[in-house]
Amino acid sequence: MAGLVTEWVNVTGDISIIARESGEVWFHTGSGTKDHVDPFATPMTGVSAAGSTVGLLDGAINLGFAVIEKRLARPDLTLAGYIVALVGAYHTSVDTPRNLRRAASRFNELARPEVAAYLEERAREETGHDRLALKDLRALGVPGERLVANFIPEGIKPLCKRFDDLCVEDYPIGCIGYSYCLERIAALKQETDIEKVQALCPDGVDATRFLRSHSSLGSEATHVEETIEFVASLPANDRIRVVQETYESALILAEGYNHELLKSEAEMLEELEQALGEALPYRHTSYPLHGEKRRARPVA
Ligand SMILES: [Fe+2]
Ligand SMILES: [Fe+2]
């Protein structure tokens, strides 16, 4: 019987992720192996398999989120929080096609047409996603263009900067790790998550276009599958770099999201209304953005 493929990547000073084709994943620390040669101390050079590649990628996300596990904010969903999330969604989408095309043209220069083709395809698929977030804001009666022009949530800024920086590197393979991290997390969202948001929205208003498309119901699930397949097709050095960047992006994303989620609704409203220069709609209607009752309306 042919041996199962094993892949490994060192992601931090002393932690490596080890993944087998069968789906098993370990976090390995190199310490305490003085008497033995640590087989995972040298970078992997071998072949890949989809099963081990996904283990490395998802292991990197889990490890990144483990850093904030004890501080993880779990706020009630509010309309103000959702509006901030839509602004964040706009900013993490608006430059994606341009950035991916920039990285693609670098890979063409590097005589790596297969990577360039993959990134160009992704750029096409991601085009217009910023418009979905703007449409959702508009559906909620919020002047989206003005809001996004005046406001980038603090926790989202480092994420946008990371992607900008990755796409202009001399060897911009890390941008695939960043994209995987964001898309994998989006693809965890289920129909019930969308229904909860829908329950917050005014009757007859659909403000879940972005969310739906970036969930298990939309294109994200396919994007994740395609990325795993593509990463598994790359040489070992590239796979290592992609997994390392998936981990770095997960760290930045976890800290950033948590920073936003830890804000009180009053702080969020303050930021939103300052950026808009006016009160948000629904202030004095049945959608209790202000006042004592700030919890989400129960579903139906
Ligand atoms: Fe997207
Ligand atoms: Fe996507």
Task: Report how far ligand 2's centroid is from the alpha carbon of 99 (Å).
Answer: 14
How far is 257 from 156, CA to CA, in rounded Å? 7
pLDDT band at 14 (very low <50, low <70, confident <90, very high): confident
Residue 84: partners with Cβ closer than 8 Å, 6 or more residues away: 153, 260, 268, 271, 272
β-strand pairing of 15-20 with 25-29: antiparallel
- Per-residue model confidence (pLDDT) at position 294: 39
Q: What is the pLDDT of residues 61-77, one digit of tens each?
A: 999 999 888 888 888 88
SS (H, E, C) 249-298: HHHHHHHHHHHHHCCCHHHHHHHHHHHHCCCCCCCCCCCCCCCCCCCCCC
Q: What is the CA radius of gyration of the chain?
A: 21
| Mean pLDDT of all residues in 102-120 | 98
Task: Report how far ligand 2's centroid is from the alpha carbon of 101 (Å).
Answer: 15
Task: Report how far ligand 2's centroid is from the alpha carbon of 126 (Å).
Answer: 6
3-state secondary structure of 131: helix
pLDDT band at 285 (very low <50, low <70, confident <90, very high): very low
Mean pLDDT of the chain: 90
Q: What is the pLDDT of residues 162-197, one digit of tens each?
A: 999 999 999 999 999 999 999 999 999 999 999 999
Task: Report how far ligand 1's centroid is from the alpha carbon of 51 (Å).
Answer: 24
Q: What is the pLDDT of residues 79-107, one digit of tens each?
A: 999 999 999 999 999 999 999 999 999 99
Task: Report how far ligand 1's centroid is from the alpha carbon of 215 (Å).
Answer: 10
3-state secondary structure of 212: helix
Q: Is pLDDT of 291 > 60?
A: no
Q: How far is CA 144 from CA 48, 136, 151, 256, in A?
A: 44, 8, 10, 22
pTM (2 d.p.): 0.91
Closest ligand to C-alpha of residue 95 is: 1
Task: Report how far ligand 2's centroid is from the alpha carbon of 258 (Å).
Answer: 22
Task: Report how far ligand 2's centroid is from the alpha carbon of 215 (Å).
Answer: 9
| Assigned token pair, 229 | 């397949």
How far is 187 from 228, CA to CA, in rounded Å? 13
